Chains A and B, each alone.
Chain A
Amino acid sequence: MLEIKNLVAGIPGRTIVDGLSLTVKPGEVAAIMGPNGSGKSTLSYVLAGRGDYEVTSGEATLDGDDILGLDPEERAAKGLFLAFQYPVEIPGVATMTFLKAAMNAQRKTRGEPELSAPDFLRRVREAAKSLSVDPEMLKRPLNVGFSGGEKKRMEILQMALLEPRCAILDETDSGLDIDALRVVSAGVNALRGKDRAFLVITHYQRLLDHVRPDTVHVMSKGRIVTSGGPELALELEKNGYRDHVDAA
């Protein structure tokens, strides 16, 4: 599904993702762990198409099609979704207006008609309920004044509404309280399926207790240095990154 080969990317004058290769198969949940500053968020931004990063070499494909040459909205239309580590506050754009625009943009690329207002409201209400998102939040400007945990829940709410093919979750667990972690994990698990892949970036085993990964990768200095199964995450939790990072 998602295939990254020898990806080199960064900002002018500095390489951050440095020859990274990774394959995530349909149905797979792959976890990426790694020290602060190893380039995890940069990788997720580069895959989503953020303009301030430059790709110098390598490739990334989704379902066999190159995505690096596409605009962010085209990548989203192909089914890529990024839950941001730091969701952006957008004053002046109402949350509901935004959700409607996002859902209708996606339906347009699929050749489906726009959602009717009642249909749209019903879907948002259902998703909000299952993720314990306070409906009052939906009346505010997008992410403005949301707490850290509320912002993360909004990201998962958007994922639930957009039903992406491949979702990258960048530290969605950080900032969540214990109950919220459970709710958000349930939301992710509900979307798991044989046609969908997840790339879960996290620092903590506790998320992986709820969302069981199929594979675990360690990222250091812009590349994957070790890969293994769920047991690798447990080992990291116990011993830290030292053994793996030194091997890089």
Chain B
Amino acid sequence: MSTPPEALAAAFARLPAHPVRTAGFARFAQTGAPDRRVEAWHYSDLAAVFDAQAAPVGAPGPAALDRALALLAALPRFADAARLVLVDGHFVASLSDAAPAGATLTPFDDALARTDAAGLFAPDGLGVGDAMVGYNSAFMQGGFLAEVAAGGTATIHVAHLATGAAGACVSRLAFRLGDGAGLDLVETFDGDRTQRHAASAFALEPRARASRVAFHAEAEGTVCVETVLADLAADSEFADFGFVADRAFTRRQPFVRQRGPRAKIALGGLSLLGGRAHADATLVVEHDSTHGESREFFRHVVADEATGVYQGKVIVKPGAQKTDGSMKSNAVLLSDGASMENKPELEIFADDVVCGHGATCGALDEAELFYLRARGIPRAVAEALMLEGFAAEALDRIAFAPARGEADRRLAAWLAARAA
């Protein structure tokens, strides 16, 4: 741990003052980027890869916009989802579709100026203890607020592009869903090598439903910290899925709170890791009301010298009776140099709950491989068949069909590249 260096302190001083920023910077300043001594970061030594000199990148100039256009051309469309584009952490209206049907978009600065900004960008104080949530709050450069009115629905794709500009891409998105509103959201992370700090905050009113899928295809060497903050009122549902197939240092950290009764939480992920990739999924789910449900389902396929990390903490607060929780993390290691850290944790302070967890980690089964090979299927193809089945069970957690289709394509591409 280290105190924030001069460069960051100076960058912070240049930003317009805002209570959310001030609180965030104070938290970050306590410790700086976390290292292994911080329990939640024990398996991901961010301090070792965090560039403390990297001040947030300014608004994109013409060269960055040109590069962004080229990156956009390679991105898929997700059915008729409105595509909103962030370049180096800044929302760029000129590259984006018109405001998505069913949602009201408020520019970042205007949203931050609202009196309810704190509740939108940092709902219910979620993640306040985390230094990098603090960093994100302190330095967020852009994003937007999207509101779906009661009973409305919206489908949105947010493309996060990094153009290789010096500095860090720091963004924050806020989503507010009214009573019974629905949102299908896809966020994609692509581009040139960078330090990326992205956060998405969700405030769900009763009966609202939000699904989110994040696709990571970052440049090798990129450091990406992705935070999800979700606050669920009664009978609401929130699903988040992270698909990581790159050779970056990725930390995904959902902080989710069930504040009202009968709310449902589903968190999932698939990481396909090669080279020296490092992908960490660390989540905290708090059940703070009755009859809640949470499902965590994560799978890692780890090859070469890569590392996978899963840390899941499910907290059932006193009084959160009838909570139904289930957590699973499975990993396949494809080489001797590959490694996986699995740490599922349950903290249960209510007596009438059903919660369980399971974690497995190992190589592909040799007896199964032999059976396939004895039928003439080459080892690489046999492995791909088995991995496809393993990965597809995670992808079954993606409900938004266009995102599932894209996940299937990316999985097939990864397996084909590996078998080649």
Contacts and interface: CB of A to CB of B under 8 A. Distances in A.
Secondary structure of the B side of the interface? Answer: helix
Contact of B377 (A84, A101, A141): A101
Interface string B387-402: 0111011000000000
Interface in B373-393: 373-379, 381-382, 385-386, 388-390, 392-393
Contacts of A5: none
Given A76-B376, A105-B381, A51 B386 contact: no
A50 interface: yes
A105 B389 contact: no
A247 interface: no
Contact of A92 (B366, B379, B381, B389): B389
B404 to A, nearest CB: 17
B349 interface: no
B375 A90 contact: no
Interface in A78-103: 81-82, 84, 87-88, 90-94, 97-98, 101-102
B372 interface: yes
A220 interface: no
Contacts of A76: 373-376
Contacts of A77: 376
A141 B371 CA distance: 14
Interface residues of B, number: 22
A72 B367 CA distance: 12
B376 A92 contact: no
Contacts of A90: 368, 371-372, 386, 389
B371 A162 contact: no
Interface residues on A, range: 20 to 34
Given A105-B381, A141-B389, A88 B368 contact: yes
A101 B370 contact: no
A52 B366 contact: yes
A8 to B, nearest CB: 21
A49 interface: yes
B385 A101 contact: yes
A181 B165 CA distance: 71
B375 A162 contact: yes
A69 to B, nearest CB: 15
Interface of B: 366-368, 370-379, 381-382, 385-386, 388-390, 392-393
28 contacts: A49-B370, A50-B374, A51-B366, A72-B374, A73-B373, A73-B378, A76-B374, A84-B374, A88-B370, A90-B368, A91-B389, A92-B388, A92-B389, A92-B390, A92-B392, A93-B372, A93-B385, A93-B386, A97-B385, A101-B382, A101-B385, A102-B375, A105-B376, A109-B376, A141-B389, A158-B375, A162-B375, A162-B376
Q: Which 5 residue pairs are nearest across A and B when measured between Cβ atoms?
A: A92-B389, A76-B376, A72-B373, A102-B375, A88-B371
